[in-house]
Amino acid sequence: MAQQYSPKTVLRQAPNGLLAGYFKKRGIDLNVDWKTRSLKDTDRVFAAMQQLPAAVYKDIESDFSMVGELASGAGTRAILEVGLAAGHADWPESFRGAANACQIALWTFLHDPDIFFQAGNFHEMDRFRSWTRWYVGGNIEPALDRDGLLSLSQQLSVAYAKQGRGRFCHVDAYVREDPRRYCFFAFPEDHTRTDMGYSDAGRFIQHRPWRSALEIIFAYRPQEGVLELHAHGRKAFKDELADAFCRAALDLPNLPAENGKARYNLSVFKDRQFRFVTNPADRVAVHIRQLDFCFRRDPSKRVVLSAAPTRWDPEPVYQLLERVTAPSALALEKLDITRVKLRLVFATDDRKRGKTLTFEVAHPDRCTLRDDPYDRVARQYLKQWGVDCA
C-alpha cells in the first residue's frame, strides 16, 4: 500500500544524488550541498522549497505526489512490468540495490517518464475492485492505432454529452501480459467545478472555476472474451459506454446481448466436502469467511452466515450451516447461494504473517478481485474450481 504522501517523505527517502538530479533538471538551485546533505537537513531543504515562486513549488509538489504514489511494492511491480515489456531486462537486477521504493520511483520519473506514467496508470488500475463485466467474444484484436483511439474518444464524448460533459476526451491504450489484456484509459472532460484556493501570487480566491477529467478504464481479456469497465454511473449508462467500446475498439456492431447465463457458479460452496485444490508452489490456504443465501421461492428473504476461521476451527461457516439446515430447521435445497466471501492466505519463507487476500464473489457476475499478482492467482483458482464459468 502506498504511504501517505508528503513532500518531506520524498526528501527523506530519495537519495541525495537523485534529488540533485531532479532539481538540476528543473533548473532550481536551493543552495544545498547534496553531497553532504543529511536527513537532519530535511526541514531546511523543505523551507528553501517553500521560498520558491508559488507556480514552481506547485510543480514540485505535483511531481513528488506522483512519485509518492508509486513509492510502494505495488508501484515497483508496475514499473518493472512496463519496463520489462519495453525491453529493460536489466531493471530487476538493477533495482535490487535500491534503498527503497521511493528511489526506484524517482529514478524512473527522471530517466524514463513514459514508463513512469504508464506504470502509474497500471498501478491505479490494479487498485480498483469495482468492475462491471460483459462477455463480448474471445480472441478479438482491438484497434490500438490512432484512428481507433480517435473513434473511441468521439463515441465516449457523445455518451457523456447527454450529461453536459465530455466535450473533450483523451484515450491511451496499452497491452498487459500474463494474461494478455488490452487496457484503455479514457479521460472525458467533467463538469466545471468551483473551489476555494490561492493564486500564484498568494491571493485568496473564493470562487475558482476549473474543469477536471474523469477517469474510466476498459480492459478486454481476449482469452476469456470478457470486457471489464471501471466507471461511475448506473448500469444502463455503463452498458452505453461498453457499447461504444465494442463498436469503436472491437469492430462489433454493438454490445452483445446478455445470454442469461451466470458467470459464477456458487453452488459448489454448498458442499462441505468440496476441496479447494491448489498448486503446492503457491503455498496458499483457502478459507470461507461468509456465505449469503436467498430462499429459492422468495429471493427477497436472505440468510447470511459469517464466521472467522481459526487454527483450531478452520471451517466455522460450515458448522453454522449444519446447524441452520438441520432437519428441524431449513432445508439446504430450498436455498441458493448469492454471495461468498473468501480469504486466501499465502505463506512466506520467513516467520512473518503471510499475505492475505479477502474478496467476494456474487451471483451472477460480480467479483471484487483486482488485477495485481495475488488477485490473478485467485482468478485462476476460480476457473480451476469451476466457480468462474465464463
pTM for the structure as a whole: 0.77
Cell triple for 186 = 479514457
Cell numbers 453452488 correspond to 267
Helix axes 101-111, 54-69, angle to 10 degrees: 120
The three-class DSSP label of residue 303 is: strand
Cell triple for 365 = 457476475
CB 337 within 8 A of CB 275: no
DSSP letter at 388 equals: B
Q: Which residues pair with 102 in a beta bridge?
A: none
Which residues, 6+ apart, have CB-to-CB distance to 22 below 8 Å? 14, 63, 106, 109, 110
pLDDT at 328: 57
Give the closest residue to 318 by CA, choosing from 327, 333, 328, 305. Answer: 305
Distance CA 34, CA 194 (A): 41
**Exposed e or buried b for every residue in 156-166, given b needs 16+ CB within 10 A?**
bbebbeeeebb
Residue 106 C-alpha from the chain's centroid = 21
pLDDT at 39: 84
pLDDT at 2: 45
pLDDT at 272: 83
The three-class DSSP label of residue 255 is: coil
CB 242 within 8 A of CB 134: yes
Domains of the chain, residue spans: 7-127, 132-249, 267-384
pLDDT at 204: 78
The three-class DSSP label of residue 224 is: coil
Cell triple for 64 = 513528488
pLDDT at 209: 74
pLDDT at 258: 74
* Positions in the chain whose pLDDT score sits under 50: 1-2
